[in-house]
């Protein structure tokens, strides 16, 4: 039977395993328990491997994706404060609806009390019983929503097949008095994103 290279959902842990009696399919996600000292977790099977085997597989359960695997097995994500890298801790994976690693979120206890902007950096193989109010993801570590003004303008055009389609044209962006970019949704940038005379 073939051995397989597997990669943890954290995109860091890499291991060659002997599946034993278990069936592993390249490209699929599994929650894997090992015969040795390696901690059980969620892994993607990369490919068959001729490398030296580092572990045996005791059991494997297939999942649609890494997030469902973590949620079904009570695992958590590691979040690090954007303001102070010394502040970090777990967040229950069930609080997310999208893959959060590398994303920025605002987590709050209660409504808007004790809020912290964090970046999700990894996976913790433990459950975390506390819940937060989470908003995001945000494009940066400021955890500020993009600002816009007015109502979105769309344009209806006829495509090459004669069908009428609605497109969202580029909108002008200006900077307010506080240095925040604001998108003017009711206006259209003439000549595309670089302006009329570009």
Rounded mean pLDDT for each run of 10 residues along the chain, 198 residues in total: 90 92 93 93 93 91 95 93 89 92 87 80 86 85 68 73 74 62 70 56
What values do phi and psi take at 71, rounded to 5? -65, -40
If DSSP codes are grouped into helix, strand and coil, which group holds residue 72? helix
Query: What is the DSSP secondary structure assignment for residue 104, as one 8-state letter?
Result: E
Q: Which two tokens mark 157?
A: 């055009």
The two counts, helices (H) then strands (E), for the chain are 1, 15
What values do phi and psi take at 66, rounded to 5? -65, -40
If DSSP codes are grouped into helix, strand and coil, which group holds residue 128? coil
Sequence spans of domains, the chain: 3-70, 74-138, 147-184
pLDDT value at position 178? 47
């Amino acid at each position: 039977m073939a051995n397989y290279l597997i990669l943890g959902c954290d995109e860091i842990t890499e291991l060659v395993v002997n599946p034993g009696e278990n069936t592993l399919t390249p490209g699929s996600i599994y929650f894997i328990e090992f015969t040795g000292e390696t901690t059980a977790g969620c892994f993607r099977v990369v490919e068959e491997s001729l490398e030296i085997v580092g572990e045996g597989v005791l059991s494997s359960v297939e999942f649609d994706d890494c997030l469902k695997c973590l949620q079904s097995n009570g695992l958590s994500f590691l979040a690090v404060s954007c303001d102070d890298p010394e502040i970090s801790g777990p967040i229950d994976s069930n609080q997310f609806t999208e893959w959060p690693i590398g994303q920025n979120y605002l987590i709050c206890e209660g409504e808007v009390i004790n809020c912290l902007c964090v970046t999700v950096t990894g996976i913790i193989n433990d459950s975390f019983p506390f819940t937060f109010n989470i908003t995001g993801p945000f494009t940066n570590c400021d955890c500020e929503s993009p600002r816009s003004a007015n109502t979105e303008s769309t344009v209806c055009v006829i495509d090459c097949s004669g069908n009428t389609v609605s497109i969202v044209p580029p909108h002008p962006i200006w900077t307010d008095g506080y240095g925040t970019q604001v998108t003017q949704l009711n206006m259209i940038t003439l000549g595309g994103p670089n302006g009329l005379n570009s």
